[in-house]
Amino acid sequence: MENLNQLQQLMQLGQQMQSRLAEIQERLEKETFSASAGGGLVEVTADGKGGIRSLRIDPAAVDVDDLEMLEDLILAAISQAQGKARERLEAEMRQATGGMPLPDLGSLLGG
């Protein structure tokens, strides 16, 4: 009978954790994380799941003879904004699980 009680407690803990994780995801979807590249020439804002919400390009960054530089700045800003979102999610998950090891969080970020 004690094994049954332990199993029920484990199942309840799993349900509580699932609820907590859903709450974290919902909250982070509403947060935004911004990053810039090129001294602010390109700025990107991502949501808590890493989805890009806005992109701002300073006209000074546009050089038709060097579009590769602009592309690199955009990619760098996107990567930084998504990295900030991922770091926040990982910190929230570590806190929610008391530091218990977690699987790859890419699926929670849509990746």
Sheet holding 42-47, edge to edge: 32-37, 42-47, 52-57
103 — pLDDT class (breaks 50, 70, 90): low
56 within 8 A of 64, measured Cβ to Cβ: no
Q: Are 80 and 35 in contact (CB under 8 A)?
A: yes
In this predicted model, what pLDDT tens digit does every residue of 44-74 receive, in sequence order?
A: 999 988 899 999 999 999 999 999 999 999 9
Residue 5 lies in a domain: no
Domain span holding position 61: 20-102
* Domain presence at residue 14: no
- In-domain check, residue 50: yes
- Please give the tally of structural domains in the chain: 1
Asked, for residue 94, whether it belongs to a domain, the answer is yes
Tell me the residue ranges of DSSP E strands in 1-111.
32-37, 42-47, 52-57
CATH of the domain at 45: 3.30.1310.10
Beta-carbon contacts of 79 under 8 Å, excluding residues fewer than 6 positions away, are: 35
Is 11 domain-assigned?
no
% the chain with pLDDT above 90: 48
